[in-house]
């Protein structure tokens, strides 16, 4: 785990989303991972990462046996499209976010025969966390922050940041992370 001080946090000049970048890259040219806009890393408005709030500093723990049911809601022209939930494996969990493994989409136009899932950075997903340590599934909302291919090129990992958590949800996630982390 990297300390929060190893990162700079700054808003994208185009979309306004917060970007987390290792401090060592400050001053170099980069692209926003959400909208792709080119910018100078840490160019303006740099703030320190907030320990316990920013996922970069949060303790990430494996969650064996945990699964997530996704219910995707995308806004298109003011209308919401809902997709039927599927169960996905949890890669890791923290108080501020979750990584889940999702299947790619079969596509014969790609060399691997698979392409990235339809989830894009910025999508807000409704999810239900099913973990053996919980009495019942817990519902959360999370924003897609990262979509990356796994080595098998058939599955992808989504990095999600929880949004709109209540104090009770924060406390429950904190307790679950401690339980899973053995502390």
Domain residue limits at 50: 4-56
Quick one: 89 and 29 in the same domain?
no
Domain count, the chain: 2
Quick one: 24 and 88 in the same domain?
no
Quick one: 133 and 49 in the same domain?
no
What CATH code is carried by the domain that includes residue 87? 2.40.10.220
Lowest average pLDDT, out of 9-13, 49-53, 101-105, 113-117, goes to 49-53
Position 81 confidence tier, pLDDT thresholds 50, 70, 90: low
Quick one: 131 and 149 in the same domain?
yes
What pTM does this model have?
Answer: 0.66
Contacts 24+ apart (CB under 8 A), 18-21: 20/49, 20/54, 20/55, 20/56
């Amino acid at each position: 785990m990297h300390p929060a001080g190893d990162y700079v946090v700054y808003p994208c000049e185009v979309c306004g989303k917060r970007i987390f970048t290792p401090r060592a890259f400050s001053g170099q040219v980069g692209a926003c991972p959400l909208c792709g806009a080119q910018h100078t890393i840490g160019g303006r408005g740099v703030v320190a990462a907030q320990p316990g709030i920013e996922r970069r500093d949060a303790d990430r723990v494996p969650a064996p046996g945990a699964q997530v049911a996704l219910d995707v809601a995308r806004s298109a022209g003011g209308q919401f499209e809902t997709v039927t939930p599927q169960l996905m494996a949890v890669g890791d969990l923290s108080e501020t976010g979750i990584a889940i493994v999702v299947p790619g989409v079969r596509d014969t136009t790609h060399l691997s025969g698979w392409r990235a899932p339809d989830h894009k950075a910025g999508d807000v997903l409704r999810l239900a966390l099913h973990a053996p340590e919980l009495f019942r599934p817990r519902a959360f909302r999370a924003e897609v922050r990262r979509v990356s291919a796994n080595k098998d090129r058939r599955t992808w990992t989504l990095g999600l940041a929880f949004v709109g958590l209540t104090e009770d949800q924060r406390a429950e996630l904190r307790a679950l992370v401690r339980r899973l982390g053995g502390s």
